[in-house]
Chain A
């Protein structure tokens, strides 16, 4: 036993690793920040004069529209399933989450196919009712259409979070409201809704982030937003500094939403003060209301999941013989591989960061650890730009200093390394949060007890901490896996030349008038996505999450 000469007792190898991870992961974000001070590109004035207003208008209308409809759909269904007993209530609790498995762009072209001349509605009208309709039944390839598509895929965020909030509201509080003479409806507006407000706002903020991240839907529908603008500046005009300017403006939107959300939350903690937290007993209803409530939930389920899902199944049944070949399996293998590698790296990083915080719980370590998770708020297209710039610079440096002009080549940019790196930056938070929750749940005393029994921190991690948070590690990997599988804009920008994943293949096929064929890849993405959704639902119900 000897005394260690250390002036900074927080310094250990864990702090070292953590600082390194944070520096690497935060590089793309800082790149965007720094590049902002550069001169804008040549096409900036063109975009500024002709397109910027469009971008602003469409982005804002899209945000407001989706916020309104996700609120309406999410809160109403959450209130019904957490307060009333009606046929199918138990199933709707998870059926209504399933739309989350649909990436927006797949939902978009499935609906286009559904309403198409060859689609089921047209065929029904034509063949059964003998009514001829010219063109598309309803034209959804516009802004209202994009709002519809994004609302039905994103409302489950609001549903999930407000349902959890309604479930946690104490029984006694609502009973107090009843005793003071309020009926259910009045109680909803005066007690339950205000109490759930921070949760609902958080849910809408999540949905808004996804709206800003979306590229596939708006691109497919021809709605110009900041995300499509970044693509256009980068690919069509080859103007990276203008792309960065647009990315920076998009980031202002993101921070505005985050700021509004935190401002709203403030110091308010609308949770029950004391321990009486029994859930409210569900009310039994009259026959009419039973039918009505079941009908509402079922209609929303049909529109947001069942119809498009059946349409996909139908397309798959028509085309699978043509599409599914050895190359298709290679596609699955590649996509799953990318997703798994990203998931494992992210969870590994998360364990290192959070274990550092566990051993040295200082505020500044917590802050820099949080920096690593910022990527989740940043749209994929922005991250892609932030990753490409330093990588291209690195390639150029290698090329200029070591190689003759003959052997032009890419070392980092345009490689799978760049792609996985970008996934790690973007989805760090997705793996970080379950690991964090896992560590918090087992508490710090267990770790301290092990160290006081003479075990070093690394061995303690292997022997005590990791075995106890195994489920959290697996769910972290799984959640990242699904998100990577669905990811489109970032993959489109950073994938190696001609390299396809399930998501890019589905999108390419759909945009090339091969909607039915694209359903095969889409179905795999959706089915894989549904597994963790059900898993997540269980976790939330058990309040472990």
Chain B
């Protein structure tokens, strides 16, 4: 069931020449975790703030659990929307204790407030230190308090702005998994904003990709990776190689050699072959391969990237396992085990 839906949202800041949000529409299903992904300036945080009621759109409408909360310039004020938000800097109230922070949103809560606070804090994994002040806690603990504070009033939806950006790399993997589990346990709907594709891939059910205020694609991670609707989305999840090729009935002629493929018969004129570095493999000499000059090998610990150039100097990147050595080798043989074909013109 749809809990949040955005219709044709436009947003422009007065100083900026261009729209920050450009005709964005999408739905979020109840209980789902959606990640809004984009570079800085893509409009992802603006979108989050529009949903929260901290910014107002020029036009468009938003409805939350069946109620219209934004219709053009008319809107429900932020404090009535029942939306929870976890800020990037956590925004904990420094003059209130952990307990008082979490209790702050329970002014209208009917029932045992103290009990509710303790339950929520336990849920996010905090068992003690309830009477400490925010600055006495570690960054990771502060984030849990921020999450507890947002969840305590049972909001209709939780919004998280760059929730993992202040954590160091070691902690990140662990926290991502924990937060996903906490959210899933309560069944609350969540939208998180991030610039890090790994955050999105490991935490979200669906991912929306924004670029310059336009929604590029919204789908499950696998589809975004394998069926990107445009080059921007494709490149967002890592590099994609392009080789120009000429199709014949038997296969493709490329600058690196001939690829046997019956599909080639479907195309006329030049085409582009698109593949990711991990969809090709450097192999020992046999007769089904392509060939190129090794330009550079970069070592990354758990893998290596081999850059291979054709006769004109155009390069592609191929991922190999880190144990391979290329010393003294000038030419490399490789094949593509997976690629997309696009008409070049």
Contact B83 A452 (CB under 8 A): yes
CB contacts (< 8 Å) of B53 on chain A: these are 452
CB contacts (< 8 Å) of A3 on chain B: these are 68-71, 74-76
Cβ of B127 < 8 Å from any Cβ of A?
A: no
- A459: min CB distance to chain B, Å: 9
Assembly CA distance A1 to B67 (angstroms): 9
Query: B134-149: which residues lie under 8 A (CB-CB) from chain A?
Result: 149
Cβ of A175 < 8 Å from any Cβ of B?
A: no
Cβ of B240 < 8 Å from any Cβ of A?
A: no
Contact A452 B79 (CB under 8 A): yes
Cβ of A448 < 8 Å from any Cβ of B?
A: yes
With beta carbons under 8 angstroms apart, the residue of B15, B70, B73, B105 that contacts A454 is B105
Cβ of A455 < 8 Å from any Cβ of B?
A: yes
Contact B95 A468 (CB under 8 A): yes
With beta carbons under 8 angstroms apart, the residue of A9, A443, A467 that contacts B89 is A443
Assembly CA distance A362 to B73 (angstroms): 16
- Scan A443-462; emit 1 where CB is below 8 A from any B CB, else 0: 10110111111111100000
CB contacts (< 8 Å) of B71 on chain A: these are 3
Interface size class of B (residues with CB under 8 A): 35 or more
Question: Which of A449, A455, A467 has the most chain B CB within a 10 Å cutoff?
Answer: A449
Cβ of A513 < 8 Å from any Cβ of B?
A: no
Query: B71-116: which residues lie under 8 A (CB-CB) from chain A?
Result: 71, 73-85, 87-89, 91, 93-95, 104-105, 107-108
Contact B14 A363 (CB under 8 A): yes
Query: B147-178: which residues lie under 8 A (CB-CB) from chain A?
Result: 149-150, 153
Cβ of B56 < 8 Å from any Cβ of A?
A: yes
Cβ of B54 < 8 Å from any Cβ of A?
A: yes
Cβ of B224 < 8 Å from any Cβ of A?
A: no
CB contacts (< 8 Å) of B74 on chain A: these are 3-7, 9
- Beta-carbon nearest neighbor of A9 in chain B: B56
Assembly CA distance A5 to B71 (angstroms): 10
CB contacts (< 8 Å) of B85 on chain A: these are 448-449, 452
Cβ of A260 < 8 Å from any Cβ of B?
A: no
With A5-B74, A9-B73, A454-B153 as contacts: A449 and B87 at CB distance below 8 Å: yes
Interface size on A, residues (CB 8 A): 27
Cβ of B52 < 8 Å from any Cβ of A?
A: yes
Contact A6 B73 (CB under 8 A): yes
Contact B67 A455 (CB under 8 A): no
Contact B95 A1 (CB under 8 A): no
Query: B179-220: which residues lie under 8 A (CB-CB) from chain A?
Result: none
- A448: min CB distance to chain B, Å: 5
- A401: min CB distance to chain B, Å: 44
Cβ of A38 < 8 Å from any Cβ of B?
A: no
Contact B75 A4 (CB under 8 A): yes
CB contacts (< 8 Å) of A454 on chain B: these are 79-80, 82, 105, 107-108, 153
Contact A455 B91 (CB under 8 A): no
Contact B79 A455 (CB under 8 A): yes
CB contacts (< 8 Å) of A468 on chain B: these are 93-95
With beta carbons under 8 angstroms apart, the residue of B75, B82, B91 that contacts A446 is B91
With beta carbons under 8 angstroms apart, the residue of A4, A362, A467 that contacts B76 is A4
Assembly CA distance A213 to B54 (angstroms): 43
CB contacts (< 8 Å) of B80 on chain A: these are 1, 454
Cβ of A8 < 8 Å from any Cβ of B?
A: yes
- B343: min CB distance to chain A, Å: 47
Assembly CA distance A457 to B220 (angstroms): 39
Assembly CA distance A450 to B83 (angstroms): 11
CB contacts (< 8 Å) of A8 on chain B: these are 73
- Beta-carbon nearest neighbor of B70 in chain A: A3
Cβ of A2 < 8 Å from any Cβ of B?
A: yes
Assembly CA distance A454 to B153 (angstroms): 9
With beta carbons under 8 angstroms apart, the residue of B54, B82, B83, B107 that contacts A455 is B107
- B156: min CB distance to chain A, Å: 10
Cβ of A534 < 8 Å from any Cβ of B?
A: no
Assembly CA distance A411 to B190 (angstroms): 62
CB contacts (< 8 Å) of A464 on chain B: these are 93
Assembly CA distance A7 to B75 (angstroms): 9
With beta carbons under 8 angstroms apart, the residue of A9, A443, A453 that contacts B104 is A453
CB contacts (< 8 Å) of A445 on chain B: these are 87-89, 91
CB contacts (< 8 Å) of A456 on chain B: these are 79
Assembly CA distance A314 to B134 (angstroms): 54
21 examples of A-B residue contacts, CB within 8 angstroms? A3-B68, A3-B75, A4-B75, A4-B77, A6-B73, A6-B75, A7-B73, A8-B73, A9-B74, A9-B75, A445-B88, A449-B87, A451-B77, A452-B53, A452-B83, A454-B80, A454-B105, A454-B107, A454-B153, A455-B107, A468-B94
Q: Give the 6 A-B CB pairs with smallest separation, nearest first.
A: A453-B105, A445-B91, A449-B91, A445-B87, A451-B79, A9-B56
Identify the A interface with B (CB < 8 A): 1-9, 362-363, 443, 445-446, 448-457, 464, 467-468
